[in-house]
Structure 1
């Protein structure tokens, strides 16, 4: 079998190997890397093993012929060493897929740890450090910082919108130090994302400061996120004889795209439904409007505060016909009032506390059920409620227990540097980082 290759969504860059695509982050033409051919897989190829076992089988075709291929099993075992269980939402018959049991209590730990495991191997003999740039609306930055902290020949600059992440999220972003620096940007997440993309696309800056990305534009983040959808879909099919459907809270579309890729590869996923907050560009598009990205607005579900989702390019690569895309994918808009109501209702009815993003997924599922949908659903629970203790505590009526891993990070001192939302300012800062 020939080596897997990767091309840009914009079609103006040469094909790359997996290692090259992961190391680069963004394609030279500004597009996002996607596989030149999407493999097909069958249920019979998967043994009933761990999440890491499922990931290794799932990703083998993507690693075929690459320098990282011999290390795939070790990478999966190293990155995916925490549980991602399905747990019933009370007696509702619906499941929560708990993705928040990693070191920073958010689903972003899966992709960040996998990417770090890959880049650590790719940079083992490098003479100069690779700078990882990451724009975060809340959880990505902490996961990347934790995954790359004190890893030789790698360093991380985390950009986040000042005042638009929760206090505990902000503390996590600034508590690592060493090879990780946090930048609080006077702007929105979209500003941070624009600054990162501009830096990655600046060839002169790249010659001086070799850089890559750890946002959901990174192929090394996207691929491992497919693993938990595949793992639970396969187990559900074995146990129940029919496929599982997923509701995915979404902002930059990476986590949702991972589910869609698993379905496109032939594994047993039925429906994928997106739960958006007031940043409803995707909802409007899927309802028939022209795709019209715009400035994001701040909401309680801040990690989803994205007005121009980067992975829209990959979504339209996967399903280029808008009519077909709208026929196979649906989305809901959940505003802040509904988020508050859902957090309260879930605490009263099911005795559970959920983060604002998970509340979006639950509210979307409630609406689907009210409209008569009877599928078996798993709702992606993307962050631990303790990361949003003020909101969750207020509307659930109970204090929020803090997991030990998060408690350890909150006990550390934190520092973030202020930065104007200007690409030139970031470029100067990167050149001066020694």
Structure 2
């Protein structure tokens, strides 16, 4: 299996090279040359497979023989060391909880998978040290920091927007030390992401460093997110209803992975990309005009993205055919006021404590079901509410206890390096 750049001006590369490079030389995201649907028999008997067995079947065509079967299964076993439960909320609506990993965010799976792939490639080839450069709007940084902590031959540099992530999120990416460094940027997530992209195109820098990215632009971070949708189908298959997924969407990697799962044959009726007021994709689906904007700060900060990188992959799946895209994808945006009301409703009426991102996913389902209600709806709960205490606790009027994963970092001392412009990032990396 080779991967090509979506800008179509760079050579095709192997899985290994796509993982190590992160971004193609022509600035394009990598995409697999083919997507081979899985056998019908696999779906007919999916309830008899373990999650690890499902994940292996889903990912193996993309990794091919670049990681031997035994080692790939071990990577999956180490990646999927926690649960992914479906929790019923109301009739025809459930949530898929993706926050039971070490940093209590859905990005744990992609970060752990990618870290172990890089660790394998480094060990096998004894290559030069890799520098993982990543921008975060909240949860990516903590998941990457945890996933890569102590991985030999890999240094991790995380850029995050100052005062625009929650206290718990900040502690998760600034307290680990070892091979993890946090750079606190005076700006927005888009500023952080712009610096990372500039670094990957800086010939002076890439001639001296072996740089890769752990954002969802990297195929090893992005593709494992397909697993979630298979795990949900396994748990809901016995309901014999068509499935509709509502995905809280920021950089659009998670929902793109869901659409990839559908391409592999997973029977999904429809997707909903639920966003906050950073409504670039909802606007595009209404007007046909894709117009990136500076991101606006909201209480669902992991979705504060003004130019979602992975949407170009979604367009590629549909061969830039807007009519096919709209048949399969709806997208709605919601304000902070609407989000708070949804969190209150979920707690008061259904005794469920959602984080702001999950609440937006719930709102997307409710809006879709106001016109189409003959299906089983699943919204993704992408982070534990403890990561957003300042938002959640005043709404539910309760104190949320710290789970073990959070207690391990919350009392540690923050260590970060403040920067404001790209030249400071470059100077840090070179030195």
| TM-score normalized by the length of structure 1 | 0.95
Cα distance between partner residues in 1 of 2:42 and 2:127: 41
Deviations 1:149-180 (A, max 9, x none): 11111111010111111111111110111110
Q: CA distance change for structure 1 residues 418 and 383 in 2, over 3 Å: closer, same or farther? A: same
Partner of 2:13: helix, strand, or coil?
coil
Partner of 1:63: 63
Cα distance between partner residues in 2 of 1:217 and 1:372: 33
Cα distance between partner residues in 1 of 2:35 and 2:358: 30
Cα distance between partner residues in 2 of 1:130 and 1:182: 16
The equivalences for 1:117-156 within 5 A come to: 117-124=116-123, 125-126=125-126, 128-156=128-156
Cα distance between partner residues in 1 of 2:374 and 2:395: 29
Partner of 2:171: helix, strand, or coil?
helix
Q: CA distance change for structure 1 residues 377 and 43 in 2, over 3 Å: closer, same or farther? A: farther
Q: Which moved more, 1:134-143 or 1:264-273?
A: 264-273
Deviation at 1:70, TM superposition (A): 4.7
Cα distance between partner residues in 2 of 1:10 and 1:127: 28
The equivalences for 1:389-400 within 5 A come to: 389-400=389-400
Cα distance between partner residues in 1 of 2:69 and 2:139: 29
Q: CA distance change for structure 1 residues 218 and 274 in 2, over 3 Å: closer, same or farther? A: same
Partner of 1:9: 6
Partner of 1:426: helix, strand, or coil?
helix
Q: Is the 8 A contact 1:274 1:332 kept in 2?
A: yes
Q: Is the 8 A contact 1:123 1:153 kept in 2?
A: yes
Q: Is the 8 A contact 1:344 1:397 kept in 2?
A: no
1:39 to 36, 39, 51: 36
| TM-score normalized by the length of structure 2 | 0.96
Q: Given the alignment of the two structures, is residue 27 of structure 1 paired with residue 24 of structure 2, yes or no?
A: yes
Q: Is the 8 A contact 2:84 2:231 kept in 1?
A: no
The equivalences for 1:33-432 within 5 A come to: 33-45=30-42, 47=46, 48-89=48-89, 91-124=90-123, 125-126=125-126, 128-237=128-237, 239-319=238-318, 320-420=320-420, 422-432=421-431
Partner of 1:208: helix, strand, or coil?
coil
Deviation at 1:104, TM superposition (A): 0.3
Q: Is the 8 A contact 2:269 2:328 kept in 1?
A: no
Alpha-carbon RMSD: 1.4
Deviations 1:356-378 (A, max 9, x none): 00010111122223334231011
Q: CA distance change for structure 1 residues 78 and 264 in 2, over 3 Å: closer, same or farther? A: same
Q: Is the 8 A contact 1:287 1:326 kept in 2?
A: no
Q: Which moved more, 1:116-125 or 1:41-50?
A: 41-50
Q: Which moved more, 1:101-110 or 1:265-274?
A: 265-274
Cα distance between partner residues in 2 of 1:311 and 1:56: 23
Cα distance between partner residues in 1 of 2:368 and 2:311: 24
Partner of 1:196: helix, strand, or coil?
helix
Q: Is the 8 A contact 1:8 1:31 kept in 2?
A: yes
Partner of 1:105: helix, strand, or coil?
coil
Deviation at 1:235, TM superposition (A): 4.1
Q: Is the 8 A contact 2:92 2:375 kept in 1?
A: no
Cα distance between partner residues in 1 of 2:67 and 2:150: 24
Q: CA distance change for structure 1 residues 213 and 242 in 2, over 3 Å: closer, same or farther? A: same
- Count matched residues: 426
Cα distance between partner residues in 1 of 2:60 and 2:67: 12
Deviation at 1:69, TM superposition (A): 4.8
Structure 2 residue runs without a partner (length 5+): none
Structure 1 residue runs without a partner (length 5+): none
Deviations 1:369-414 (A, max 9, x none): 3334231011100000000011100111111122111111213222
Q: Is the 8 A contact 2:161 2:192 kept in 1?
A: yes
